[in-house]
A and B are shown apart, each in its own frame.
Chain A
């Protein structure tokens, strides 16, 4: 059982480049979300999805796009990378909503923007 799989684990980009962080889960979870973790800031919610075809913004959505075409996948897109987006990104999932369910986290993607 793979759980939540994030790829890549590490990535270095130049300012202005675009890329997609992949997230896949094999637990048939409805709820998926993306967080970024910065030193001294904890984890901040970027975007989330309560099911296929439904996405919504979190606390820090600017500069990121998401889509949810299947239950399993929830990719995060950086359209034009900026140094301020250097961070560790975590994808998470839970069965139905997150109010009373612990989230399952991927191992993270460490992204550096030069």
Chain B
């Protein structure tokens, strides 16, 4: 069975600080996909990134970066120079390969960025 653990429940930082959101996953498959979604206070779910299990390259998109390490089953998300607009709930999710695969979410991390 697949599982996603986001041990941090709430994080509060001051604007311009860097912050890392942790995600640890469990799966028996060798082919799987990892995702991060953002849920701002308005409530919608916004897709941020997808990573497959064969691509361990780190990814950077502006102030966002992701560190995928299969050795530790982690897919961590770092926001550099955080801004108030980054305040949201962030979900890490996992799906295994296959047409009937399901997406399993972690419980989410509430990030508050104070001005």
Contacts and interface: CB of A to CB of B under 8 A. Distances in A.
A48 interface: yes
A44 B4 CA distance: 12
Interface string A9-42: 0000000000000000000000001010000111
Given A97-B101, A99-B97, A40 B44 contact: no
Interface in B45-78: 45, 47, 50, 52
Contact of A41 (B95, B97, B107): B107
The winner among A42, A103, A104 for most chain B CB atoms within 10 A is: A42
B105 interface: yes
Contacts of A100: 33, 50, 52, 95, 97
Nearest to A40: B107
Nearest to B93: A43
B99 A96 contact: yes
A104 B101 CA distance: 16
Nearest to B35: A102
B43 interface: yes
A45 B99 contact: no
A88 interface: yes
Given A88-B43, A100-B50, A105-B45, A50 B99 contact: yes
Contacts of A33: 103
Contact of B44 (A96, A98, A102, A107): A107
B58 to A, nearest CB: 19
A28 B110 CA distance: 33
B98 interface: yes
B91 A42 contact: yes
Contacts of B50: 100-102
Given A88-B43, A105-B45, A108-B43, A97 B105 contact: no
Q: Which of B33, B45, B52, B107 has the most C-beta atoms of chain A within 10 angstroms of its own C-beta?
A: B45
A58 interface: yes
Given A97-B98, A99-B32, 12 more contacts: A35-B105, A41-B107, A43-B45, A43-B105, A45-B103, A48-B102, A50-B99, A92-B45, A97-B101, A100-B33, A100-B50, A107-B43
